[in-house]
Amino acid sequence: MSSSIKKVVLAYSGGLDTSVIVKWLQETYSCEVITFTADIGQGEEVEPARKKAEALGVKSIYIDDLREEFVRDYVFPMFRSNAIYEGEYLLGTSIARPLIAKRLVEIAEETGADAISHGATGKGNDQVRFELGAYALKPGIKVIAPWREWDLTSRETLMAYCEEHNIPVDYAKAAKKSPYSMDANLLHISYEGGILEDPWAEAEDDMWRWSVSPEQAPDTPEYLEISFKGGDPYAINGEEMSPATLLALLNKIGGAHGIGRLDIVENRYVGMKSRGCYETPGGTILLPARRAIESITLDREALHLKDSLMPKYAELVYNGYWWSPERKMLQAAIDESQPVVNGDVRLKLYKGAVSVVGRRSEDSLFDERIATFEDDAGAYNQKDAEGFIRLNSLRLRIAADKGRDYR
């Protein structure tokens, strides 16, 4: 392999795949490997990754707590767009990748590394997301994707490689590993593989980690109040908290009520369809709450324009174009609408369902005098509607007079 690669920064989880990658990079490229482990709220201790990396001879080890940055600078800006991919997916994995790509590039620059590396397979979206992000931030960066180069194609071959190269692995634990490929952060946890590769097979109930089934959820609903400022949530039931703390609490509350489970078949950017299951309790609560506060604070046309931009925004995030001029343009337009998105939303959580039951704001455009079915004391002249309707029907009446039938 190329002798120009002297130092590589690897996105390292401490798991089987990335532990193999450390040794494979050392042997294949005869290079120094720097490991980077991001704590983005995956719910597992990240410090054990340090000992595993040290056991593999890694001298330079980065372990960063990125939870607040992840929610504040990535999840919340995305949520301002109310982004949902293909009508269902809340983009939990997608939105974490640009942050990890950014940090990989930063560490490469800090350490003078020649390349970065990741453990994404050659079939998935993550390889695209990591690499598009890296190239956008550092055009000349070299990216090494072992899954596109080596001949290790299964867990069995990876474990055999570990045995051959004396890589410390808890074989008992590895053998008992979940049959699912899972990815978690503060926004969600995803499941792929195993029986989920059959889109007709129902997911096993013991697969889910963050939520009870709706059938097992409490028989009494829970009411929750979320406060927003500038489009972002900042308090739950009147208690202000940091972005990461707020999302973590919503995950806990939502999971207890069976909220946030999703089973979908999605269209990957690389061309194939993929079946996945997701748990996103906090996000599933936040999105209807956000729409509720926007419903009373945003102008109709501004709101409708935002809604028309959302599918494109979601597609950009899903496909890996966070660091792109078009995403930045859309973000600027979306953020321009948000200064008035302030107030409180009251929700009812019950057996997997989230219902908006109240919304209020000092910036509300809802005018009770005009909207009332009672006497409005002249606030609205109903006779104005006649001319409005006749003008808007003019083109339809002309077409009908010319014999055009749209039935």
Task: Output the CA–CA distances (angstroms, integers) from residue 97 to 75, 149, 339, in the order listed.
Answer: 11, 22, 28
377-386 contacts: CB < 8 A, separation 24 or more?
none
- Residue 51 CA to its chain's centroid (Å): 29
Q: Angle 300-319/281-297 helices, nearest 10 degrees?
A: 150
Determine phi and psi for 212, rounding to 5 degrees. -80, 160
Determine phi and psi for 323, rounding to 5 degrees. -90, 70
Instruction: Mark whether 60 is an active-site residue.
Output: no
Q: Which candidate in 60, 72, 155, 181 is catalytic? A: 181
Q: How far is 120 from 160, CA to CA, in rounded Å?
A: 20
CB atoms < 10 A from the CB of 139, how many?
A: 7
Q: Among positive and negative, which fits the CA dihedral 86, 215, 354, 68?
A: negative
Instruction: Mark whether 97 is an active-site residue.
Output: yes
Q: Which candidate in 67, 114, 117, 126 is catalytic? A: 126
Q: How far is 286 from 82, CA to CA, in rounded Å?
A: 9
Q: Which candidate in 80, 97, 261, 359 is catalytic? A: 97
Q: Is 149 helix (H, G, I), strand (E, B) or coil?
A: coil
Q: Which candidate in 17, 64, 73, 335 is catalytic? A: 17
Instruction: Mark whether 181 is an active-site residue.
Output: yes
Instruction: Mark whether 81 is an active-site residue.
Output: no
Q: Among positive and negative, which fits the CA dihedral 159, 49, 204, 283?
A: negative
- Residue 247 CA to its chain's centroid (Å): 12
Catalytic residues, which ones? 17, 97, 126, 181
